[in-house]
Amino acid sequence: MKCFVTGAAGFIGSNLVDRLLQDGHTVVGVDNFSTGLAEFLNAARQNKLFTLFEGNLLDRDFLNGAMHDCDIVFHLAANADVRFGADHPEKDLQQNTIATSHVLMAMQKNRIQKIIFASTGSIYGDAEIIPTPENSPFPIQTSFYGASKLAAESLIQAYCEGFGFQTWIFRFVSILGERYTHGHVFDFYKQLLAHPDQLNVLGDGKQKKSYLYVQDCINAILFSLNFSKEKINIFNLGTDEYCEVNNSIQWISDYLKITPKVVYSGGKKGWIGDNPFIFLDCKKIHDLGWNPKLSIKEGVIQTLQFLERNKWLLNEK
C-alpha cells in the first residue's frame, strides 16, 4: 500500500511514518515544517520506501503532484495547538478546514478514496455526557480548534456521500509519548528544568483531562483500518481514565524528585475555549477489539523519559 501522510514530520505523523515503513508500506510524507521537525524523520529517511516532500497543503499544484499514485491518505497535518485559537482564529480555519478541503480535492484528482483523519475530542465542547460517546448530543463548539476540526470532519463526510469516499475519523484525547513537543507535560518539564522550585499552572489545576500514548494511538488507527469497514468510521480514541492536572503535576514532581511550589493562574479553564473536563467513551473501539497498553501515568512517564533524552527539543521554536 502506498500511503500519503500529511504532517509527516509532526509528533503523531512521524511515529506513524515509522510504523508504516516498518510494516513494509511505501510512504510519501509531506510537511511544511511549521511545527514538524526534520530530526523526527531521520530514521525514515534511511528507508528506500520513504519519500519526503516539503510544501504547503494550501498549494494545490504541490499537493496534486505529491499525492500521485498513492492508495490512501493519512491526514494528520494541522494547527494542533488548541490553546491559542483566540489569538488568530483564521489560522485554524486555514490550516485545519481549508487545508482539508484541498486534500480532498487532490484525492479526487488522483482518484484516491480512502482518508484517515486526525480529529479531536475538543469537538464535543463542554460535553453534556461524560464519558462522551461518538453519538453524544449535537455539541456546541467552544474552541476555534474544535470548530475547525468539526468543519473538516463534515467536509470529509460530504465527500463520502457525494463521491464514494471512505473515511476513518479519530477523535483523540491529548496524545503523549515520544516526539511530543507541546502540551502540559512539555511545559511543566521545561519550567521545572529552569526553576525546580516553582511551577506556574494555567487554571486551577483541577481540569480533568484524558491522555493516550502515541503508540497506542497508532495501534488503534491501524487496527480500525483493518477491522472497521463502514463508509464512515468514527472512533473516539483515549484511555478509560482521566486525571486532574494536579495528578499529573504530582507524577512529574515525583519522577523528577522535586517538590515545586505550584502557582495557579486561577479559573476553571486554562485558556479561552479550554474544556475543563475531557473524557471520551471509547466503548465503540473496545468492542472492535482494541485496547490501550499504557495508562495515563505510564504515558506521562514515557514522555518525561523521552524529553530527558531530547532536551534540545525544549529550545525549539
Question: Is the Cβ of residue 14 or residue 79 nearer to a second copy in the bound state?
Answer: 79
AA identity, residue 290? W
- The residue (of 190 and 269) whose beta carbon lies closer to a second copy is 269
What is Dmax (Cα atoms) for the chain? 57
CA distances from 226 to 221, 222, 289 (A): 9, 6, 11
Distance in Å, CB of 148 to a second copy, minimum:
8
Q: What binding mask, one character per residue, do residues 107-126 give for a second copy by CB under 8 A, x or -?
A: ------------------x-
Where does this chain touch a second copy (CB under 8 A) — which range of 91-99, 181-189, 196-204, 212-220? 91-99
Of the pair 14, 95, the CB lying nearest a second copy is at 95
- Please report, as residue ranges, which positions from 196 to 255 form the binding site for a second copy (by CB under 8 A): 232, 234
Torsion region of 257: left, alpha or beta (phi above 0 gives left; psi -120 to 50 gives alpha): left
Cα 163 to Cα 157: distance, rounded to the nearest angstrom: 10
By beta-carbon proximity to a second copy, the closer residue of 79 and 215 is 79
Identify which of residues 178 and 274 has a Cβ nearer to a second copy in the complex: 274
Q: Which residues, numbered 125-184, are part of the site for a second copy (CB under 8 A)?
A: 125, 128, 134-144, 146-148, 150-151, 153-155, 157-159, 161-163
**Candidates 30-38, 86-94, 194-202, 279-287; binding stretch for a second copy (CB under 8 A):** 86-94
| φ and ψ at residue 277, rounded to 5 degrees | -150, 105
Q: How far apart are CA 99 and CA 204, in angstroms?
A: 35
Cα radius of gyration (the chain): 19
Pick 265 or 291: Cβ nearer a second copy: 265
Q: How many residues bind a second copy (CB under 8 A)?
A: 41
Nearest to 142 by CA among 266, 281, 279, 272: 272
User: For a second copy, which stretch binds (CB under 8 A), given 23-31, 35-43, 96-104, 207-215?
Assistant: 96-104
- Other Cβ atoms within 10 Å of 256 Cβ, number: 16
- DSSP-derived letter for residue 175 is E
Residue 25, C-beta contacts closer than 8 angstroms, at least 6 positions apart = 1, 2, 3, 49
Residue ranges that bind a second copy, judged by CB under 8 A: 85-86, 89-90, 93, 97-98, 101, 104-105, 125, 128, 134-144, 146-148, 150-151, 153-155, 157-159, 161-163, 232, 234, 272-273
